[in-house]
Chains A and B, each alone.
Chain A
C-alpha cells in the first residue's frame, strides 16, 4: 500500500498548457535551427519533410523549447511566477481526421450541448506552435482550415459557430510530411504546400548518427558507430525490398537494448530486422549485414 503511495501522480496538462520543460536532445545537422528561428520570427509556416524516425518531431520539440527560452515571466492562475514556455500542440493526423476534430465540436452537456474547442482552435487562441504530424493523412476538408491560417490573414474560421478567430501572435503552424511512402493519391496539393517553407530531413551522416545513438541509448561509442554503420547499409536496401530505410529511432532502440546487456546480434534482430520487414528474404539479407558488422 505504501508502495502505491510512492508513485508520483502523472502530470496532466490541458493541451494548450503543455510545453516542453526539459531541453530535448537534438543534434543539429545543418542550419535547420537558424532557419526555423528565422521562420518563426517572420511567422512563416514550416513544412518538415523526411522519412520516419529522422527526427522531425524531436526537432519541433527542441525548437519549441528553444523559442520559449527568452523566458518571459508571467503569472499563472495560481498567482505564482512561472516561466513562460512556448506551448506545443501536436496532432498526429490519420485518415479519419476531419476538420471538426481540429476545430472543435458540440458535446452533450447536462442541459443540452456545449461547444468544445479542438486542438487547432486552442493553439490559435493561445498562440502556440501547432504541429500537424503526417498532415496528408488527414481528410481533405482539413486543408480548408489550413489555408487562411497560413497566409497573411492568419485567420481560423469556425463555421459551426459562425466565428472567425485571429491567431494570437505566437501561433505558428508546422506540418510534417513523409514523401517516401505516400502514394500519388495522398500527395500534398500545391495550393497547400506552397504556403510553407520546407526543411528537408534525412538520416544524419554516420558520425553524427553515432553520436545521437550514443547519447540517446547510452551505449558505447563503438556500438553506436557500428549501429550507425548498420543503418547506412540497411538504408541502401531501400526500394529493394524495403519501403523505408531503418530510422534513427530504431537504431537507438537497438542501442538501448545493447547497453542493457542484450547481445548485439539479438538486439539488432528484434529492433531492426524484424521491425523493418516481414519479407523473410529481406530479413535474411539484413541479418547477414548484421552478422557481418556485429560479432
Chain B
C-alpha cells in the first residue's frame, strides 16, 4: 500500500495538470501491477508514464493508454517486456503522439497474441510504416490497432513480410495500403497457415510490379489460391511471384488465369503440372504460367502422361528462343499445334472430316456431307443423341471426337467403321424401302397384313410399321435385322474393313447385359442383338424353349446374304415379331445349367411359308399384339450398339419424302407439299422414333410446332451440303436469289495464320478475313473518272493495244517445221555446194503465243488514305496573302469556291482513279483481273471487300462499287495478302501478279506488341508476300508514302516495289508499271 500511495503522491503534482482520467488510470495501473512488480520496477514503470506526458503537447494521451495497458497485461508479460514497451512508447511518442497512442492501446492484447518477447520487433514494424507525415502515421497507427488480429494469423516474422508489402504499397497509394491492411487479417484468416507467407510473398512482388492489382489480389486471391491443391500452393505462389518480379504489369492476370486453370484439373495432377512449370521458370516465368494456364486445354486432347513430352518439346523451343517458347505455351504457335496433334491419340472430326466426306462419297456415289452428331441433335428434327453416329440419308453424322483407344490409328479406324456403317446404310439401300416390293430372299408376306387405312400412309416405312401393334418391339427388331444385314454386306464387300469391324463387334459383346437376368422377351431380343454381332456363341436361352430361338436365329441368318434387300429385313422382322410376341416377358427362375447356347436352324426351315402360319390365302390377317398377362415385365429396348449409331428409318423416310416434295415444288408451280396437321399428329402419336419430350422443353403444342417447322426447314434445303469444304464458313447468307443482290451483304469468313517473327512461327488460324462484296455507290463515278483523264485513257489504251500479243509468231531456223524457210534453204544449198557443213535448221513454224495473266489489285482502304493531297502544298500558299486580311479573305473565298466545285482530292480518290484507268487498260488487253479493297480492325475483323472478283465481268454494278471505295480503318496487310493469294491461286492463269497499292506501312490493333511497334507488322507482311511468291505469284508493292523506302526495303526484299513520290502521277504511273510487270 505504501509504495502505491507513495508513487501516487510523488507524481500527483505533474499529473494533476492533465484531464482527470489520466490520474485515475495511473492509479488503476499501479494497483494492477503492484502485485507482480518489485517496488523499484513499479517505480520505473510509473516514471516512464510520467515522462510520456511531458514529451509533447498531446503525449499525455499516450500516457493514458500507457497506464491503462498496465491494468491488462497478460500474465506472461515479464518486467523486461513491460520495460521495453515503455522504452518504445517513449521513443514513439517523441515522434508522433497518436502513433504511440495506437501502439499502447493495442499493446496489451498484442502481447497476448504475439508473446511479450516480441514487443520490440512489433514496435519496429509499426515504426517502419511511419515516415514522418500524417498519412504514414495514420497507416502505422492502423497497423498497431490491427495488430492483435494480425498476430492471431501471422507470426512476428511473417508479419514483417506483410509490413514490407504494406510499406511498398504505401509508396504508391496510402489509401490502397490502408485498405489492404484492413482486410489482411480476414483474408489471411481464410488461408491455410502454411500458405500465408507465400501469399504475402507474391503480394510483395505484385506491389512492386503492378501495385494497382493488389486490391484485386486481396479481394480474390484467397479464393483463387484455394483452387490449387494444398501441398503445391507455396511452390505455385513462388512461381507467380517470379512473373511479377519481371515487372510484368499483368502478373495478377497470369495468376488468376493459371489458378482458374488449375481449378479445372484433378488436384492429384497439380504436383506434376507445377513441377513441369518449375522447369520452365528459369527460362521464362511467363512461359511457366502460360503452361499452367494451357494445361486444361491441352489435356482435352492428350492424356496426362503425354503432357511431359509436349512440355519437353516446348522446353526445347524455349531454350533456343524465349518468344518462340512463350508462343508455344500460349498455344499460339503452329509448331506447338503440330506437336500436340502428333501426340494426341484422339481423332477430331474437324480434322478428318474432308477425308471422311470423300470416303463416304466414294462408297455411296452420292454427294454426302459430313457433320457432327451434335449438329444433328441441334436441328431438333427427331434425333436426340448427341454423340451417336447417324445419317439422314444425305448427310452422315459422326461423333466429334474419337478417343476410345490409345493409338491414333486405332481411333481413326474406329471413326472409319462408324462412317462405313452409315455410308453402307445409304449404299445398300436401307432407306429405299418400298412397302409392296418383294425382297430377294424372303417371300412377300407383309402386304397380306396391310391394314385398312382411312388415308394413304405418308411414307412406306410408316405403312410398314403400322402393321405392328407393338411398334417399339417391331422397330427394335427391324433395326437388328437391318443392321445385321448391313454389317454382313460391309464385311463381304470391304475385306479391308472387316478386321476393325469384327474387333468393334467383339468389343461390344462383353458389354451386353446378361441374358439370364432379363425377362424372356427382352432376353430373346438381346440374343438376336448378340447374334447380329456375330456372337451366336454368346446366345443363352432356356433349353426347353430352344426351338423358337433356333428359328429366330435362322431367320436372322437368312438376312445375311449377298442378295438380301431392305425388304428382306422387313420380312425377317415380321417373322421375328411373330415369335417375339408369343414369348411371355417373364423372369425365368431356373438353374443356370438350364440355359444353353442355341444353334441356328437351317434358313430354309426357319423361313416362314408364303401366306404365313395362320390364315389362308387372300384373307386379311392381323399381327398379334402382346396380351400383357399378369406378372409380365414391360418390354424394354436392348442396349445400344456404339458403332452402329442411331438408325431412324421412319424419320429418314419422312425427311426424304418431304425433300422430294420440296424439290418438286421448286421445279413446278406447286407449293411444296406440307404435312397436314393430321398426318403429323398421327406420326407423332405412333412413331417410336420421335420423342418430343426428349427434344424440347415446354408444352406439347409448342414442341409439335417447333418440330414441324424444323422438319420443313430441313426438307427445304435438300442440299444440306454447306460450303464448308476447307476453310471458308458462311456466316449469314441472307436470301440470295439468282441475279439479285441480297440486302445484307453475304460475309464469308476465312482464317489465316499470322507470322510471329519473334517466335519464328505461325500463330495458327489467327486472323479472320471477312470477305464481302462492296456496296454499290454513285453511278457516274466511273465515267467521270474516265472523262477527267480522257487523254491519259486513250494513251494507255493505245499502249496496251500494242501489247496485245499476236496469236501466232513465225519462228525460223528450226530443225523441223511446217515448211522450208526459203532463205535458209538457199543458204543450206550454197554451204553444201561449197563443201561446208551446212546448217540444217532451215524450217519455220508458227508458234502460238498466249498471254495468260491474272492480276489481283489490293487497295488499301485504311483511314489514312483520307488525307488530302494538296495539304502538303498548302503551306507554300500561305505566303500569298502577305498578312493582309483582305487578300487572305479573297484567297480563302476563291479556294472555298474551288473546293465546292471540285472537292480536294484525297489519296483514296487517286487510288480509285488509277484503278479505273487500269481497268480500261486491262479490258483492252484481256487479262483476268480482280480488284479488292481491305481494311479492318483487329485480328478478328480483317475486312476484305470485293470490288471485282476474277470471274465477274466489268459491268455497271462493278463500276458502282468502285465509287464506294472509302477510307475505313486500319491496315492489316498480311491476312489481306494471304486472301488475295488464295483468290489468285483459284485462277488457272500461267502468270499471276499481285499488286498491293497502299499509302503507308502496315498497322493495326494488336499487329505487334503495341501500337507503335512496326517490326511485327512488317515481318508478317513480308512473310505473306513471300508465301505468295512461293506459290508462283509475282508480288508488287506500290506506295504513295514518301517515307515508304525504309520499310518497303525490308518488306519487299528481292521483290518489286515502287514509291510513287508524286501522288498525282499515280494514274499514269500505274498502267505503265503494270505493262512493265507483264512484258
Q: Is B386 an interface residue (CB 8 A)?
A: no
Q: Is B359 an interface residue (CB 8 A)?
A: yes
- When distances are taken between beta carbons in the complex, the residues of chain A under 8 Å from B799 are none
Which residue of A113, A241, A288, A293 has the most chain B CB atoms within 10 A of its CB atom? A288
Residues A240 and B358 in contact in the complex (CB < 8 Å), given A292-B420, A293-B496, A295-B496? yes
CB proximity of B425 to chain A, nearest CB, Å: 15
Q: Cα distance A293–B416 when bound, in Å?
A: 13
Q: Cα distance A241–B354 when bound, in Å?
A: 11
Residues A293 and B494 in contact in the complex (CB < 8 Å), given A106-B820, A236-B363, A288-B416? yes
- One of A112, A236, A265, A290 near B365 (C-beta < 8 A): A236
Residues A100 and B818 in contact in the complex (CB < 8 Å), given A113-B825, A292-B494? yes
Are B496 and A286 in contact (CB-based, < 8 A)?
A: no
Are A294 and B495 in contact (CB-based, < 8 A)?
A: yes
- When distances are taken between beta carbons in the complex, the residues of chain B under 8 Å from A98 are 818, 845
Are A288 and B355 in contact (CB-based, < 8 A)?
A: yes
- When distances are taken between beta carbons in the complex, the residues of chain A under 8 Å from B367 are 240
Are A285 and B820 in contact (CB-based, < 8 A)?
A: no
Q: Scan A265-295; emit 1 where CB is below 8 A from any B CB, else 0.
A: 1000000000000000110111011111111
Q: Is B829 an interface residue (CB 8 A)?
A: yes
Q: Is A237 an interface residue (CB 8 A)?
A: yes
Residues A229 and B820 in contact in the complex (CB < 8 Å), given A241-B358, A285-B355, A286-B362? no
CB proximity of A144 to chain B, nearest CB, Å: 13
Q: Is A108 an interface residue (CB 8 A)?
A: yes
Are A236 and B361 in contact (CB-based, < 8 A)?
A: yes
Q: Cα distance A181–B495 when bound, in Å?
A: 33
Residue of B nearest to A160 (CB): B819
- When distances are taken between beta carbons in the complex, the residues of chain B under 8 Å from A113 are 820, 825
Q: Cα distance A94–B824 when bound, in Å?
A: 27
Residues A289 and B363 in contact in the complex (CB < 8 Å), given A108-B842, A282-B358? yes
Residues A226 and B495 in contact in the complex (CB < 8 Å), given A106-B820, A288-B416, A292-B416? yes
CB proximity of A162 to chain B, nearest CB, Å: 14
Residue of A nearest to B808 (CB): A139
- When distances are taken between beta carbons in the complex, the residues of chain B under 8 Å from A290 are 496
Residues A240 and B361 in contact in the complex (CB < 8 Å), given A100-B819, A108-B842, A288-B416? yes
Q: Is A233 an interface residue (CB 8 A)?
A: yes
- When distances are taken between beta carbons in the complex, the residues of chain A under 8 Å from B493 are 229, 293
Q: Cα distance A286–B359 when bound, in Å?
A: 7
- When distances are taken between beta carbons in the complex, the residues of chain A under 8 Å from B355 are 281, 284-285, 288
Are A237 and B358 in contact (CB-based, < 8 A)?
A: yes
Are A289 and B362 in contact (CB-based, < 8 A)?
A: yes
CB proximity of A132 to chain B, nearest CB, Å: 18
- When distances are taken between beta carbons in the complex, the residues of chain B under 8 Å from A288 are 355, 359, 416
Q: Cα distance A74–B992 when bound, in Å?
A: 61
Are A295 and B495 in contact (CB-based, < 8 A)?
A: yes
- When distances are taken between beta carbons in the complex, the residues of chain A under 8 Å from B363 are 233, 236, 289, 292
- CB contacts under 8 Å to A, within B289-345, are none
Q: Scan B834-854; emit 1 where CB is below 8 A from any A CB, else 0.
A: 000000101001000000000
CB proximity of B913 to chain A, nearest CB, Å: 35
Residues A105 and B819 in contact in the complex (CB < 8 Å), given A281-B354, A295-B498? yes
- When distances are taken between beta carbons in the complex, the residues of chain A under 8 Å from B496 are 265, 290-295
Q: Is B32 an interface residue (CB 8 A)?
A: no
CB proximity of A53 to chain B, nearest CB, Å: 18
- When distances are taken between beta carbons in the complex, the residues of chain B under 8 Å from A295 are 495-496, 498-499
- When distances are taken between beta carbons in the complex, the residues of chain A under 8 Å from B359 are 285, 288-289, 292
Residue of A nearest to B358 (CB): A285
Q: Scan B365-386; emit 1 where CB is below 8 A from any A CB, else 0.
A: 1010000000000000000000
Q: Cα distance A105–B495 when bound, in Å?
A: 58
- When distances are taken between beta carbons in the complex, the residues of chain B under 8 Å from A281 are 354-355, 358
Residue of A nearest to B495 (CB): A295
- CB contacts under 8 Å to B, within A219-264, are 226, 229, 232-234, 236-237, 240-241
Q: Cα distance A249–B1008 when bound, in Å?
A: 56
Q: Is B497 an interface residue (CB 8 A)?
A: yes
Are A237 and B361 in contact (CB-based, < 8 A)?
A: yes
Q: Is B71 an interface residue (CB 8 A)?
A: no
- When distances are taken between beta carbons in the complex, the residues of chain A under 8 Å from B358 are 237, 240-241, 281-282, 285-286
Q: Cα distance A292–B490 when bound, in Å?
A: 9
- When distances are taken between beta carbons in the complex, the residues of chain A under 8 Å from B818 are 98-100, 105
Q: Is B828 an interface residue (CB 8 A)?
A: yes
- CB contacts under 8 Å to B, within A90-115, are 98-100, 105-106, 108, 112-113
Q: Is B222 an interface residue (CB 8 A)?
A: no
CB proximity of B489 to chain A, nearest CB, Å: 12
Residue of B nearest to A106 (CB): B820
Which residue of B355, B358, B845 has the most chain A CB atoms within 10 A of its CB atom? B358
CB proximity of A232 to chain B, nearest CB, Å: 8
Q: Is B364 an interface residue (CB 8 A)?
A: yes
Residue of A nearest to B828 (CB): A108
Q: Scan B669-692; emit 1 where CB is below 8 A from any A CB, else 0.
A: 000000000000000000000000
Which residue of B362, B497, B819 has the most chain A CB atoms within 10 A of its CB atom? B362
- When distances are taken between beta carbons in the complex, the residues of chain A under 8 Å from B825 are 113
Residue of B nearest to A265 (CB): B496
CB proximity of B368 to chain A, nearest CB, Å: 10
Residue of A nearest to B420 (CB): A292
Q: Cα distance A285–B499 when bound, in Å?
A: 19
Residue of B nearest to A232 (CB): B365
- When distances are taken between beta carbons in the complex, the residues of chain A under 8 Å from B364 are 236
Q: Cα distance A45–B828 when bound, in Å?
A: 43
Are A237 and B820 in contact (CB-based, < 8 A)?
A: no
- When distances are taken between beta carbons in the complex, the residues of chain A under 8 Å from B357 are 285
- When distances are taken between beta carbons in the complex, the residues of chain B under 8 Å from A232 are 365
Residue of A nearest to B367 (CB): A240
CB proximity of A35 to chain B, nearest CB, Å: 29
- When distances are taken between beta carbons in the complex, the residues of chain B under 8 Å from A292 are 359, 363, 416, 420, 494, 496-497
Q: Cα distance A160–B494 when bound, in Å?
A: 62
Q: Cα distance A282–B354 when bound, in Å?
A: 9
CB proximity of A231 to chain B, nearest CB, Å: 11
Are A236 and B362 in contact (CB-based, < 8 A)?
A: yes
Are A237 and B819 in contact (CB-based, < 8 A)?
A: no
Residue of A nearest to B413 (CB): A291
- One of A112, A160, A229 near B829 (C-beta < 8 A): A112
Q: Scan B704-717; emit 1 where CB is below 8 A from any A CB, else 0.
A: 00000000000000
- CB contacts under 8 Å to A, within B490-510, are 493-499
CB proximity of A137 to chain B, nearest CB, Å: 13
CB proximity of A257 to chain B, nearest CB, Å: 17
Q: Cα distance A282–B355 when bound, in Å?
A: 7
CB proximity of B763 to chain A, nearest CB, Å: 23
Q: Cα distance A286–B354 when bound, in Å?
A: 12
Q: Cα distance A269–B359 when bound, in Å?
A: 15
CB proximity of A152 to chain B, nearest CB, Å: 29
CB proximity of B661 to chain A, nearest CB, Å: 27
Q: Cα distance A241–B361 when bound, in Å?
A: 11
- When distances are taken between beta carbons in the complex, the residues of chain A under 8 Å from B416 are 288, 292
- CB contacts under 8 Å to A, within B789-817, are none
Q: Cα distance A233–B359 when bound, in Å?
A: 9
Q: Cα distance A226–B496 when bound, in Å?
A: 10
Q: Scan A156-175; emit 1 where CB is below 8 A from any B CB, else 0.
A: 00001000000000000000
Q: Cα distance A277–B828 when bound, in Å?
A: 48
Are B362 and A234 in contact (CB-based, < 8 A)?
A: yes
Q: Cα distance A112–B819 when bound, in Å?
A: 14
- One of A233, A240, A293 near B495 (C-beta < 8 A): A293
Q: Cα distance A43–B362 when bound, in Å?
A: 42
What would 7 A/B residue contacts be, using CB atoms closer than 8 Å?
Answer: A106-B820, A160-B819, A232-B365, A233-B365, A288-B355, A292-B359, A292-B416
Contacts A108-B842, A281-B355, A295-B498 known; list 14 others, CB within 8 Å: A105-B818, A106-B819, A106-B820, A113-B820, A233-B363, A236-B361, A236-B363, A240-B361, A285-B354, A285-B362, A289-B359, A289-B362, A292-B496, A292-B497
For the complex of A and B, list the 3 residue pairs with the smallest distance between their C-beta atoms, beginning with the closest. Answer: A285-B358, A236-B365, A292-B494
